[in-house]
Amino acid sequence: ASNLQRQVLHAEAEIGAPKVESARRRLLALNPGVEVIAYEQSLTSANALAIAREYDLLLDCSDNFPTRYLVNDAAVLLGKPNVYGSVFRFDGQVSVFDAKSGPCYRCIFPEPPPPELAPSCADGGVLGVLPGTIGTLQATEALKLILGIGASLSGRLLLYDALEMSFETVSVRKNPGCKLCGENPSVTALIDYELFCGLGADAPGWEISASELAARLQEGAPAPLLVDVREPHELEISRIAGARLIPLGELARRAAELGGASEIVVFCRSGGRSRRALEILAAAGIGNARHLQGGINAWAAQV
């Protein structure tokens, strides 16, 4: 019920129903001549390309950064335009990201903000009418693309200030160094976006305990590639035999060195830097890495 103040497709009678089904019924009530296909599932790296491949353009109406980057990357990889919209409190943004003729979302926002600085609508609040305003602008851009009329917002970011009732556009350019659509892309497939946005590095699947790692190394080939993200002087205190030293500050630049490994385990002193290392590797399209829980301190204590 608390979500209804910012909705245009749903009503109180629909509370408890899946949003996709509620939206489908409302759209068919408005125009029974259209076909509405509802996907009652989360959009993920596993299904995004298969779903998006069936359509001519995508509209990003999401409210979280993992989905935003996922939609953008799927659009670029499939060569489809992405009609982008976002809202926060009293402000909104709209653009068209079409990597064939202009920038993609990553060109402007190559890295997501830290999770603690990215509040949701529930946390940060939003003026109830604002999503409807921005959504209508997105619909306008989508219709222009379908009909081949007018000038799209590709290469421009529209900024809307509801308090001042003002619109402003700023020019945005394609970034030649973009990791996705630049001249030498390093992201060539969909990645783990929860991890990329700093939301998944503490999940059990992304950690390996010291005892488990020791057992994996004793098994022999194929042994995981060990990557030490500490500083060189820390090797004088402790080290794990066979580990490759790539300090955290150099990891983004040297991530390509790790592309051929079938399994990667990164570690630091106690686990903090190695969690950040997972996010850097995920941003580079390397998703087969885990980090050593508790770092080399845990290795020293347990192994």
> Averaged in consecutive runs of 10 residues, what is the pLDDT profile of the chain (303 residues)?
87 92 96 95 93 97 91 97 95 96 93 66 79 97 97 96 96 94 90 74 71 88 89 91 92 86 91 84 82 92 92
The helix/strand/coil state of 94 is strand
81's tokens: 């335009």
Question: Which of 107, 178, 197, 268 is the catalytic position?
Answer: 268
pTM: 0.70
Q: What's the pLDDT at 86? A: 94
Say which of 61, 104, 121, 178 is annotated catalytic.
121
Residue 227, both tokens: 């990557």
Give the pLDDT of residue 123: 60
Could you confirm whether 197 is annotated as catalytic? no
pLDDT recorded at residue 51: 96
> Could you tell me the end-to-end alpha-carbon distance of the chain, in angstroms, rounded to an integer?
53
Q: Which of 48, 44, 42 is nearest to 76 (CA)?
A: 48
- Is 181 an active-site residue? no
pLDDT for the residue 87: 93
- Distance between CA atoms of residues 191 and 197, nearest Å: 11
From residue 29, alpha-carbon distances to 16, 25, 42, 295 in Å are 19, 6, 25, 57
Residue 271 pLDDT: 85
Question: What pLDDT shows up at residue 262?
Answer: 84
pLDDT value of residue 300: 93
